[in-house]
Structure 1
Amino acid sequence: MSGAEDSAREHDPTPKRLEEARARGDVPVSADLLAAAALAALVLAGLALAPAALPRLGGALAAALAAPAAAPSAAAAPVTAAALWFLAPLLAAPVGAVLAAAVLQRAAVWAPERITPRLSRIDPLRQARHRFGPEGLFDFLKAALRFALLAAVLLWLGRRHAPAIALSAGLSPGQSAALMTRLAAEFAAAAAALALLSGGADLLWQRHRHRVRLRMSRQDLADEQRETEGDPAAKARRRQRAEDLARNRMLRDVRSATVVIVNPTHYAVALRWRRGDRGAPVCVAKGADELALTIRRIAAEAGVPVRSDPPTARILYAAVAVGQPVLPEHFRAVAAAIRFAERMRQRAGGRG
């Protein structure tokens, strides 16, 4: 990825992009943390099993050595059983720890795409860029730092126990073995703790690098929004068509209105009510400014009476939606408008 592309991808990845990457098996995972978990589990299992398993294994070996040479298989069976009793959980613990660490990192995903053979995975140029590029340099520095810290811990432990090690020459073989075992266990525990700390730091770095790699440009965000929500321009056109259809239907209903109440310059509300209707008058159309003028024009063409009542027009425009009945608190003013419309129709009929 070029520097220009890096600078263009300035936005954090969206949840959708992260989920798509996860479906492909592209998840941040720390191999160092997996190895550290295996080492820690191995050390803990060894410390837990050794006090009981080693004497049992030693006793089986001693019995096998003391057994008659004519029955080697019978002598070897207890040794094999004791070794398996010790080694089986000792080897199973790291496997379980690795699986648990993978689950905790949310790295356990089923992604067939990851196991599909691809030539790009064996591309020597790509491997060289990774090994000798910034990522390879960082991995090298990380490994060197981890080795230096481990050496420092070993040196510190060696200096700390130097007097005891010097005196071990005068101890019995059993005492020397116990001392060396204790020192080895202490060093292994320190190494496991250091590995876990290093693995945790590496996990944070892998997650950061993963998010940086999945960053999105402004065009990426626009493309994703278009995929998920549709083209904004097309949505605007569909919304405009829907509004036009609703507006045209509303204007057609003006011709069947009973009366149109207007504020002469701003508002127009068309109501429909017929004698015998049990419900309240219904608003069939309303509009402001140019739409109000259009409603008045259609009403005039259809012979629908128009009543000028600015306060009622303003209140009805704000309070009543198209297709909804007027509220009880407006009945008095609306009844006056309907009586006005009936008188106008009677006069028009009388003149006819």
Structure 2
Amino acid sequence: MAENEDGTEKSEEPSQKKLDDARQKGQIPRSRELTTLMLTLSAALFLFAYGGVMMADLVALMTDGLSFDRDIAFDVQKQFSLIGSLIVQAIYMILPFVLLMVLLALISPTLLGGWAFSAQAMAPKLSKLNPISGIKRMFSMNALVELFKALAKFSLVLSIASYFLYITFAEVLGLGLEPLHSALAHAGVIIIQAFIFVSLGLLVVAIVDVPFQLWNHTRQLKMTKQEVKEEYKQQEGNPEVKGRIRQVQREMSQRRMMQQVPEADVVITNPTHFAVALKYDPENMQEPMVLAMGVDFMAAQIRTIAQANNISIIQAPPLARALYYNAEVDRPIPYDLFKAVAQVLAYVYQLKQNGKADAVDFSKVAIPENMKTE
């Protein structure tokens, strides 16, 4: 199990933020064995497909370079011209192979961990120039693993190469007895076969190395329980700070809510525990709106403001509880409570117009079953 320098155990899997931060720093899984395999195998396949053409071009190039007239032999300018022409032909001959190798050298390292382009990842790290740090890396566990891998890879490739040389030894000796063109073609075939054999050996190494690099990358980024907690605090915010923010938001909401109470048409109460302030403007509203609501101390404040502004206070305990538990401030009342609220508003409007109204017992106002509360 991975541990910090202070001995704390890294038992937790790395978070997505830890993985993203590591990528920004250029710390991503890489497998040099996979890159080597891709280069070697691609070179073998390329030579298998176009080796014959390249060999024929090479023979023609050597023939042209070694066969020239007497005039060229005694004319330096013509010699330079011939050499330049041969160089251009040689470049054109090997250019496809070189471009393929360069392209694979750029792409192969990204097959495992992807690209990592960032200023932090590409910035030079002066710590790598520190000789003490270099010595520590030389004798670290990763260095020992890399040494073991190098020895294992060398032994495997040496074994494969030795076996291939053993089974083709007679063919290699026979090349000297063949005509030039036939020997060159035969040598090309042997080289391609050697590439394929070595690639198969590297395939075994890559199959072992890729899972190891992924596992090792995850192991290095594992986190302690304390690190997980600290990261959570950073992402979600300190619980105490968040609690204070929520408290301030509630206080601001309550002040704004209280400022709207004087605009209400009626305040429906429990009569002491709940209070809900409603407003209805038939010309501008399709349904009554809840301006404020509260319980206990907040309800008392709503009633006080209502009394100070001559707003009707109606005692309707079932309706007050239903509104408090089912309605929201600055939102229309629930549709199922329209009928009950309409009775209250009709009574209030009658009071405003006539100064009096028929007595109504709102404690018995009908409340739909789905709106009732205990």
With the length of structure 1 as denominator, give the TM-score of the two structures. Answer: 0.77
Task: Kindly state the Cα deviation for residue 219 of structure 1 after the two structures are TM-superposed.
Answer: 4.2
For residues 117-266 of structure 1, the aligned pairs below 5 Å read 118=126, 120-158=127-165, 160-161=167-168, 165=171, 168=174, 172=178, 178-199=185-206, 201-254=208-261, 257-264=264-271, 266=273
2:44 is aligned to 43
SS at match of 2:108: helix
CA shift, 1:62, in A, is 3.7
How many angstroms does 1:241 deviate by?
A: 0.9
Give the aligned residue type for 1:55. Answer: A
When residues 125 and 4 of structure 1 are mapped into structure 2, their CA distance, relative to the original with a 3 A threshold, is closer
Offset, 1:207: 3.5
Change over 3 Å in CA distance of 1:49–1:306 after alignment to 2: same
Quickly say closer, same or farther: Cα 1:85–1:304, change in 2 above 3 A: closer
Say if 1:307 and 1:340, in contact at 8 Å, map to a contact too: no
1-side partners of 2:109 and 2:199: how far apart?
17
SS in 1 for 2:19: helix
* Match in the other structure for 1:56: 57
- 2:368 is aligned to none
Q: 1:169 to 1:234 in 2, by over 3 A?
A: closer
**Number of aligned residues:** 346
The question of whether the paired residues in 2 share the 8 Å contact of 1:267 and 1:314 is answered with: yes
CA contact (8 A) 1:11 1:215 kept: yes
Residue aligning to 2:328: 321
1:88 aligned partner: 95
Match of 1:15 in 2: 16
| Alpha-carbon distance between aligned partners in 2 of 1:169 and 1:22, rounded to the nearest angstrom | 52
Residues 5 and 98 of structure 1: is their aligned pair in 2 closer, same or farther, counting only changes over 3 Å?
Answer: farther
- Relative distance call for 1:3 and 1:216 in structure 2 (3 A) is closer
Q: 1:106 is matched with which residue?
A: 114
User: How has the CA–CA distance of structure 1 residues 43 and 262 changed in structure 2, closer, same or farther, with 3 Å as cutoff?
Assistant: same
Return the letter of the residue paired with 1:249.
R
Listed as ranges, the matches of 1:339-350 within 5 Å are: 340-341=347-348, 343=351, 346=355
Instruction: Assess, with a 3 A threshold, how the Cα gap between structure 1 residues 254 and 50 changes in structure 2: closer, same or farther.
Output: closer
What's the RMSD between the two structures over aligned residues? 3.9
Displacement of 1:186 in angstroms is: 0.9
SS in 1 for 2:39: helix
Counting aligned pairs with the same residue, the percent is 25
Deviation string, structure 1 residues 220-275 (Cα, Å, up to 9, x no partner)? 44544555554432222122111112223334544554333233475332223579
Q: CA deviation at 1:146?
A: 1.3
1:182-230 deviations in whole A, cap 9, x for unaligned? Answer: 3332121121243355346434433433333333344444544555554
Structure 1's 101 and 64: CA in aligned 2 closer, same or farther, altered over 3 A?
Answer: closer
Question: Counterpart of 2:90 in structure 1: which amino acid?
Answer: A
Q: Which amino acid aligns with 1:183?
A: I
Code of the aligned partner of 2:37 = A
Which stretches in structure 1 are left out of the alignment for 5+ residues? Answer: none
- The gaps in structure 2 that reach 5 residues or longer are 74-78, 358-374
Query: In 1, are the aligned partners of 2:55 and 2:185 still within 8 Å (CA)?
Result: no
